[in-house]
Structure 1
Amino acid sequence: MNYILTDKEPKLPLKYFEDISAIPHGSYNEKAISAFIADTAAKLGLYARVDERNNVVVKKPATPGYEHLPALLLQAHVDMVNEKNSDSDHDFTKDGLKLILEGNILRADGTTLGADDGKGVAYMLALMDSDSDAFPHPPLEFLFTTGEEVGFWGAMALDCSDITARRMIGLDAGPEGVVATTSAGAQEVIFSIPTEYEPVKGDVLAVSVRGLLGGHSAMNITDEKGNSNKIMGRLLHNAAKVADFRLCHITGGAMFNAIPREADAIIAVEPGKKQAVIDKIAKVTAELQDELAASDPGLTVTVTDAKADKMLSAAVTKAVVECLYNVPNGVRMMNKQVPGLPVTSTNMGVVKTLEDKITVDTMLRSSSKSLNDDYVDNICTVGKLAGMPEVWVGDWMPAWPYMAGSKMRELAKKMYKERTGEDMRELAVHGGLELGVFSEKMPGMDIVTLGCTSGNEHTVTEWMDIDSYARVYQFMKDFIAELCK
């Protein structure tokens, strides 16, 4: 492959970032990248175990003289969110990412970059490949997990019996100079309704929502960005006030944990009411553009003539539209002690028309299990009242509780202060971290997080600062060496 980063420092982790970028590794498609990790370990003569969910555990012996020290675990997830521009022909099942370097900023061409959490995966591969004689370290254990972006799928099923460490660096983190201290739990709720079709009648129109910025459903949820699925629900709910129509097809969003940027619906409007629907949608669009002028100035809604052979029944149409319109979305409660931190929120991430049903997929996040349970009950009730007969509720993904007196966290803060003269900032995050799962599976684990500066995760404008990437890699190596003292 043609490397674009290997003239930059540090060469080893940047090389591995390019290597994994060439391997498709979206959620549920991690077999190839897990095999690459295991093959790399084998070439380096290291122990490696791959389980049935393609999680990989690798062990590296300590630098000679430090074998007696307790082991250190490093962890990152190998899957990425597959988001692309609607006009992109990128195939996430077989195409590698096209990386673009502009100054010190790395991004991908028309797709997500996968720095979440490719940056951590590449760090770990580089540490596996590093010269132990030049890099003093205790016994190292590496955990590469799968399916993090779709509900901690790998971590939840992980057998931890061969992991001995009770000190850990979590690398699904950042930005530089920030250490996470706690994270929210999460739960998925999917509404569905069987499809019932009839021959199409009336005028067929295509309604498209475009130009939203989207974002991460945790980090950007307080930005109150436009959600394309909720916007489509509002447009169609209002269109129903001026005309009868039927859905023929509807889709929106790509991942339940990404704020959706685009949505499309094809509707069949009763004869003689086409213009009334167009005018109503135009009026609501103008209102939305005014409301979202600060957060999503590029919002557009287009209505064009279309074709369809069949349309959904009136009952199915009404249920889907009212589900989109009425099911709550966004922040429900803010933390009164930590400014800017949500306690509970939800994101209506994906709407799909499948062969036999239509689904509406939402993700809830909360640092409070009781509030989460109440919100799940609330959302399920609203969905059923809207007419969605089937509701699937996923497993609770545990929150990561605050650990008072963490020696790992205090050492990182001390070293950062000595090197930069600045205080390392502690951050409670609304996003879900697998650290909650590991703290339950491996009680007593002392965890610190480290990560470089990156941004716009789960969107096509995702980026990573490679200068920060280099600094954090060196800091991590120094931190691990310090554990030998």
Structure 2
Amino acid sequence: MLKLGVDHGPLRIIFTTDEETGMTGAARLNPKYICDAQNIINCDSENLDVICTGSAGSCHTHFTRHIQWENTIHDYAVCIKTHEFIGGHSGETISHGKSNAIQALAETLLAIRKKGIDYRLAAIDGGDAANAIPANSSAVVVCNKKDIDAINSTITSVKEAFYRIYKGIEDKAKWDVEEVAVPVHTFSLKDTEMLINLLCILHCGTFVMNQSLPRLPELSSNIGTIKTTDDIVTFEYFPRAGADDRLSNLLQKLPLFAELTGFSYEQGKQEPAWTVNAVSRLAPLYEKAFEKVTGRKVRKEAVHGGLETGHFYHLNSSADIISIGPNTHDIHSADESVELDSIATMIRVLAETLANIR
């Protein structure tokens, strides 16, 4: 930028840290560096041809239940697995009509219970991350051997209905039932029932779409992980929203679900949303500069994931904000890479934009 000798007005450059894991750099930024800014150009998006104009807020929540272990009263045990679901990022792909392997397993267990089959859980685990739709889950189910045919028949019925619902989306999803050693202890009947109830009650997927941008989710949530340890079973529920008030409205209800099912509830810090600005002056300036430099048109998109711009918007909601970036691949992984030529192009477009801000 300095070598280009860009003619620009007052300019403040801010470098943040820890964006990939906690956004603590943006979250702890002194407000004085943002509160007087009229325009903010964030350079951390992932596609050169896209201007990002909004992002979602989110909040990590945990539901936990202390297990009342009881001596096993049944003579047989199986491990039921739901696996090879599509999975994916719970922000970018939450509106793609996918299933959730953890919730699909819970719904399977609920169907078995509704058939009058007596069983207890001994373990349930699944998912890899709070912000990912789980592709795999498993549960150790302790039952009577005489009921195994009825269990298999029920699972077959669940699968048939599932494939009708998710036809063309989750066609590769699988259920496996394998005999395992009968454990010495199991969850109590109440622990088993309340866990399954809660996993089935909590909505996974999109609640509502944005009314101005019909392809953008406005509110969603996802059960990302579940884990059984020595004394507890706990799972993560991760809601996102395009507006802070909408997210707050959902969060105030979640403790009620915990109370009704005998779970404890823990809520993390609410990360702020960056609400779409329908009358941005900055976005058209960047669009014009992009076309002048590249000869191509740029797309405008809002995302249902979290960006540092949410924190900037929270500090100064009157600022005109856009987010841009070079072409990157395999982000947040060991294979992350960036196209160096796209950085040079972005700099030229940015310089042209700054020269036209008045």
Q: TM-score of the superposition, structure 1-length normalised? A: 0.64
Consecutive unaligned residues of structure 2, counting only runs of 5 or more, are none
The corresponding residue for 1:43 is none
Residue 88 of structure 2, aligned match among 202, 205, 215: 215
Do the aligned partners of 1:70 and 1:165 also contact (CA within 8 Å) in 2? no
Distance of 2:280 and 2:331 partners within structure 1: 28
For 1:404 and 1:224, how far apart are their aligned partners in 2?
27
Indicate yes or no: 2:154 matched with 1:280: yes
Tell me: CA distance 1:286–1:424, structure 2 relative to 1, closer, same or farther (3 Å). same
**How much does 1:303 deviate?**
0.5
Change (3 A) 1:414 1:161: same
Deviations 1:327-376 (A, max 9, x none): 11211112222221222111111111133311121111112333323322
Q: What's 2:55 paired with? A: 183
What is the Cα deviation at residue 66 of structure 1? 7.9
Give the match's secondary structure for 1:142.
coil
**SS of residue paired to 1:298:** coil
Which residue of 1 is the match for residue 200 of structure 2?
A: 325
What do residues 71-102 of structure 1 show as CA deviations (whole Å, max 9, x unaligned)? 443xxxxxxxxxxxxxxxxxxxxxxxxxxxxx
Q: Secondary structure at the match of 2:221?
A: strand
TM-aligned CA deviation for residue 205 of structure 1: 0.6
- For the 8 Å contact 1:323–1:388, the answer to whether it is kept is no
Which one of 216, 223, 226 corresponds to residue 341 of structure 1? 216
Q: Matched residues in 2 for 1:317 and 1:156: separation?
A: 39
Match of 2:262 among 365, 388, 407: 388
Fraction of identical pairs, as percent: 25
1:263 match: 137
Matched residues in 1 for 2:77 and 2:7: separation? 71
Cα distance in 2, alignment partners of residues 419 and 290 from structure 1: 49
How many Å apart are 1:186 and its aligned residue? 1.5
Give 2:225's aligned residue.
Answer: 350
The corresponding residue for 2:250 is 375
1:291 maps to which residue? 165
Select which of 152, 155, 161 maps to 2:26. 155
Q: Is 1:246 the equivalent of 2:120?
A: yes
Judge conservation of contact 2:8–2:354 (CA < 8 Å) in 1: no
User: Higher RCO, 1 or 2 (CA under 8 Å, sep at least 6)?
Assistant: 2
- C-alpha root-mean-square deviation of aligned residues, in Å? 3.3
Alignment: residue pair count: 351
CA distances 1:92-124 after superposition (whole Å, capped 9, x unpaired) = xxxxxxxxxxxxxxxxxxxxxxxxxxxxxxxxx
Aligned counterpart, 1:311: 186
Partner secondary structure for residue 304 of structure 2: strand
d(CA) in 1 for partners of 2:126 and 2:325? 31
Aligned partners of 1:181 and 1:427 also within 8 Å: yes
Q: CA separation in 1, counterparts of 2:232 and 2:89?
A: 27
Deviation, 1:478, is 1.2
* Change beyond 3 A, Cα 1:341–1:359: same
Amino acid corresponding to residue 344 of structure 1 in structure 2: L
Superimposed CA distance per residue, residues 441-482 of structure 1 (whole angstroms, 9 cap, x where no aligned partner): 367655332234567878x9x99896xx34431222213444
Question: Match for 2:54: what amino acid?
Answer: T
Give per-residue Cα distances to partners, 1:426-453, cap 9 Å, x unaligned. Answer: 2222222221112333676553322345
Shift of the 368–306 alpha-carbon distance from structure 1 to 2, 3 Å rule, reads same
Counterpart-to-counterpart distance in 1, 2:69 and 2:189: 9
Which of 233, 236, 239 matches 1:364? 239
User: Aligned pair in 2 of structure 1 residues 302, 68: CA closer, same or farther (>3 Å)?
Assistant: closer
Q: Which moved more, 1:204-213 or 1:475-484?
A: 475-484
Q: What SS is found at the alignment partner of 1:416?
A: helix
With the length of structure 2 as denominator, give the TM-score of the two structures.
Answer: 0.85
Cα distance 1:341–1:483, how it changes in 2: closer, same or farther (>3 A)?
A: closer
Is the partner of 2:297 in helix, strand or coil?
Answer: coil
Deviation at 1:232, TM superposition (A): 0.8
